[in-house]
Structure 1
Amino acid sequence: MTLRAALLVLAAGLSVLAAEPTPVGTWKTYDDHTGALHGLVEITESGGEFQGRILKSYDPAKPNPVCDHCEGARKGQPVIGMVFLWGLRKDGDTYRGGYILDPDNGKVYKARLQLADGGRKLAVRGFIGFSLLGRTQTWVRAE
């Protein structure tokens, strides 16, 4: 009887862990200045590493944006489909250790992600050096 109770407790614990939200999925991004819908981003996970790519831009002034200010292989490449977030790994409640590219200026920043609101929102922080020197955007999970 004790073994059966222990297995039930273990199974209940595993089901709670399985339901834990992750940043994997599609996210809506918003313009920092106007609050208007800016784009759609897809975050995937492979081998414990999270990365994001741009699925869609809602900027009517730039229907097919390219990364004019990027360096290296990304220079002049289409922004749609571009991997712009990479190298993040789960560390407690935070995802860190990776980088994020701002396609508007071509700069690469260190990145940190943290889920909020039961996994419905994602705080995305890009920074230089220390996390205090940066900015945070809140993305909303696409339904």
Structure 2
Amino acid sequence: MWTKFKFSLSIVMLSLSQFAFAEDISGLWQSIDDQTGAPKGIVRISKDANGTYIGTITKITPRVGYKPKEFCVNCPAPYTNKPIIGLNVIQGLKQKDAENYEGGKILDPNTGKIYSLKAKLSSNGKKLVLRGYIGIAALGRSQTWIRAY
């Protein structure tokens, strides 16, 4: 009887420890182009003082045959003509539960368009699926980013 109790207690403690140490989306992420599958750059996601997440471009990944933009030329204010490196492309993303985030905005610096954003963290914390959309999420597009730490 005591052995069963210790075993059950161990299972409960292990389950609780996973929640206590669950990763959030903070860290470095390799953004991947959803159309070509090529890496685009590195984005640092961090938690702001108000508890929401922001994402800042820290590096642009060179690609063969593609000259990356240096400035956000077609972007609306306050992003107009700002350097791409250091640009906050994710704003206001809130954690809904252990894996889901919502209520944010994401800027595509190549087009200057701003989309509503929701995201889902994989159970192992190594992939982040971002869904940018206008209106309803079903009419958007998704990108899978890889944790780069």
Counterpart among 3, 22, 25 of residue 24 in structure 2: 22
Deviations 1:89-127 (A, max 9, x none): 111231101100000010100000100141100001100
Partners of 1:48 and 1:116 in 2: how far apart? 21
Gaps of 5+ in 2: 1-5
Counterpart secondary structure, 1:88: strand
1:140 matched to 2:149? The reply is no
Counterpart among 129, 137, 141 of residue 135 in structure 2: 129
Partners of 1:79 and 1:68 in 2: how far apart? 9
Partners of 2:52 and 2:61 in 1: how far apart? 28
RMSD: 2.1
Partners of 2:108 and 2:101 in 1: how far apart? 18
Whichever structure has more strand as a proportion of its residues is 1
Matched residue count: 136
Partners of 1:104 and 1:34 in 2: how far apart? 15
Partners of 1:135 and 1:38 in 2: how far apart? 16
Structure 2 length-normalised TM: 0.82
Gaps of 5+ in 1: none
Counterpart among 120, 123, 132 of residue 114 in structure 1: 120
Amino acid at match of 1:97: G
Partners of 1:79 and 1:23 in 2: how far apart? 21
Q: Give aligned-pair identity as a percent.
A: 39
